[in-house]
């Protein structure tokens, strides 16, 4: 009899406490970010688990955001040509997760306003945008410059970096880039004659220009070479992205390394903030009340069974 009274009383107390919603407060480190996703043509290359790089990036980033603690803020932007376009400024991920996921799912290569992919210039533009918002940058790209860089290479970075990461996406083996017609229908793959292979003719010519076919000091100071190449194929330019990241105070890793690796890299390369976070005790209290009620039900069932046996 005593058990039949005590257990329900304890269960009622636990259920009442769960309804009140007590919690434990502890310090929580949060990192906000502006996520910029490359939507240029090479991101349509299908070398990420059988799907395109852009499809993979959408899924992987959504999964990572879902693991972030409440209170974190994420903004979203897309990159094409030489700059990024901010879709929305950083918002709290738990309150606005459905909106974040919907915007992420809607990213599409057809949103691009130009066909070029000037990674270095787009990265620097995104850094300035993230710095203006007061958050670190997460730049997601395969690193393929189109058109190729000039002979002098990428421009030196000048400015303040808000910190953050470059997340590389793409395979290590060159793969064909899908080509689409004016109506957005796939029409095969890019061929060598469809793209520019030689470095952009900007700045000083290369040192060996005078030895190249067609060289003329005034009319053709760069000469003719590199007319054939492999720019119609695409692979992750990991070394190039790592160099860009190091010069700008960013970390570099592959998006496929997973959410835990991204969090560890952010802790090193992105400023965070420490805020008090409350962990609710309602779930374990409610679970304990349920266990007590189930225990009481089992005990009651056994008593009824024993009583029937005594009668028979």
Residue 64 domain-assigned (yes or no): yes
- Intra-chain end-to-end CA distance of the chain, in Å: 23
Write down the pTM of the prediction.
0.79
Q: What residue has token string 């070479």?
A: 225
Residue 147 domain-assigned (yes or no): yes
Mean pLDDT computed over 215-224 = 71
Residue 224 domain-assigned (yes or no): no
Residue 132 domain-assigned (yes or no): yes
Q: What is the pLDDT of residues 252-266, one digit of tens each?
A: 999 999 999 999 999
The closest of 77, 56, 263 to 171, measured between CA atoms, is: 56
State which of 25-39, 170-184, 273-287 shows the largest mean pLDDT. 170-184
* pLDDT the model gives residue 158: 84
Among the residue ranges 213-217, 285-289, 306-310, the one predicted with the least confidence is 306-310
The total number of residues shown for the chain amounts to 312
Residue 6 domain-assigned (yes or no): no
Residue 104 domain-assigned (yes or no): yes
| Residue 277: pLDDT over 90 | no
* pLDDT the model gives residue 56: 98
- The residue segments making up the domain with residue 128 are 25-196+231-278
Q: What's the structural domain count of the chain? A: 1
Mean pLDDT computed over 66-82 = 94
Cα-trace Rg, the chain: 29
Mean pLDDT computed over 149-162 = 85
Task: Give the separation between CA 217 and CA 219, rounded to whole angstroms.
Answer: 6
Three-state SS for the chain is CHHHHHHHHHHHHHHHHHHHCCEEEEEEEECCEEEEEECCHHHHCCCECCECHHHHHHHHHHHHHHHCCCCCEEEEEEEEECEEEEEEEEEECCCCHHHHHHHHHCCCHHHCCCCCECHHHHHHHHHHHHHHHCCCEEEEECCCCECCCECCCCCCCCCCCCCEEEEECCCCCCEECEEECCCCCEEEECCHHHCCCCCECCCCCCCCHHHCCCCECCCECCCCCCCCCCCCEECCCHHHHHHHHHHCCCEEEEHHHCHHHHHHHHHHHCCCEEEEEEEECHHHHHHHHHHHHHHHHHHHHHHHHHHHHHHC
Task: Give the separation between CA 212 and CA 205, rounded to whole angstroms.
Answer: 11
C-alpha distances (whole Å) from 233 to each of 45, 109, 237, 280 are: 9, 17, 12, 52
Residue 170 domain-assigned (yes or no): yes
* pLDDT the model gives residue 225: 59
* pLDDT the model gives residue 276: 56
* pLDDT the model gives residue 303: 59
Task: Give the separation between CA 295 and CA 103, rounded to whole angstroms.
Answer: 47
* pLDDT the model gives residue 217: 74
Among the residue ranges 60-64, 106-110, 193-197, the one predicted with the least confidence is 193-197
Look at the alpha carbons of 99, 68, 33, 63 in this order and tell me if their dihedral is positive or negative: negative
Residue 149 domain-assigned (yes or no): yes
The average confidence (pLDDT) of the chain is 86
Q: What is the pLDDT of residues 110-129, one digit of tens each?
A: 999 988 999 999 999 999 99
Question: What are 24's strand-pairing partners?
Answer: 279
Among the residue ranges 14-23, 95-104, 219-228, the one predicted with the least confidence is 219-228
Task: Give the separation between CA 70 and CA 22, rounded to whole angstroms.
Answer: 18
Residue 26 banded pLDDT, cuts 50, 70, 90: low
* pLDDT the model gives residue 274: 63
Torsion of CA 87, 253, 176, 38, to 10 degrees: 10
Task: Give the separation between CA 43 and CA 176, rounded to whole angstroms.
Answer: 11
Task: Give the separation between CA 302 and CA 63, rounded to whole angstroms.
Answer: 47
Mean pLDDT computed over 34-44 = 97
* pLDDT the model gives residue 259: 95
Q: CATH number for the domain including 158?
A: 3.40.50.410
| Residue 21: pLDDT over 90 | no
| Residue 154: pLDDT over 90 | no
Name the residue with higher pLDDT: 196 or 261.
261
């Amino acid at each position: 009899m005593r058990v039949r009274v005590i257990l329900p009383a304890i269960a009622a107390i636990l259920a009442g406490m769960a309804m009140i919603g007590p919690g434990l407060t502890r310090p929580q480190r949060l990192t906000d970010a502006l996520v910029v996703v490359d939507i240029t043509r090479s991101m349509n290359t299908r070398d990420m688990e059988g799907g395109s790089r852009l499809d993979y990036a959408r899924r992987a980033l959504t999964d990572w955001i879902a693991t972030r603690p409440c209170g974190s803020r994420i903004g979203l932007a897309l990159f094409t040509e030489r700059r990024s376009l901010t879709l929305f400024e950083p918002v709290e991920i738990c309150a606005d997760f459905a909106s974040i996921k919907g915007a992420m799912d809607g990213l599409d290569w057809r949103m691009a306003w130009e066909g070029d992919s000037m990674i270095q210039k787009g990265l620097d533009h995104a850094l300035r945008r993230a710095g203006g918002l007061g958050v670190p940058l997460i730049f997601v790209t395969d690193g393929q410059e189109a058109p190729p860089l000039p002979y002098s290479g990428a421009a030196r970075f000048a400015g303040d970096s808000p910190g953050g990461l470059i997340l590389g996406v793409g395979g290590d083996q060159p793969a064909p880039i899908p080509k689409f017609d004016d109506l957005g229908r796939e029409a095969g793959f890019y061929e060598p004659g469809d793209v520019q292979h030689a470095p952009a003719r900007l700045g000083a010519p290369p040192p060996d220009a005078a030895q190249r076919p067609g060289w003329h000091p005034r009319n053709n100071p760069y000469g003719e070479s590199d007319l054939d190449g492999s720019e119609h194929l695409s692979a992750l330019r990991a070394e190039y992205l790592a160099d860009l990241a190091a010069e700008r105070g960013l970390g570099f890793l592959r998006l496929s390394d997973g959410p835990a690796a991204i969090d560890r890299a952010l802790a090193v390369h992105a400023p965070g903030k420490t805020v008090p976070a409350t962990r609710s005790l309602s779930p374990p209290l409610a679970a304990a009340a349920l266990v007590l009620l189930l225990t009481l039900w089992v005990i009651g069932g056994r008593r009824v069974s024993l009583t029937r046996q005594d009668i028979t």
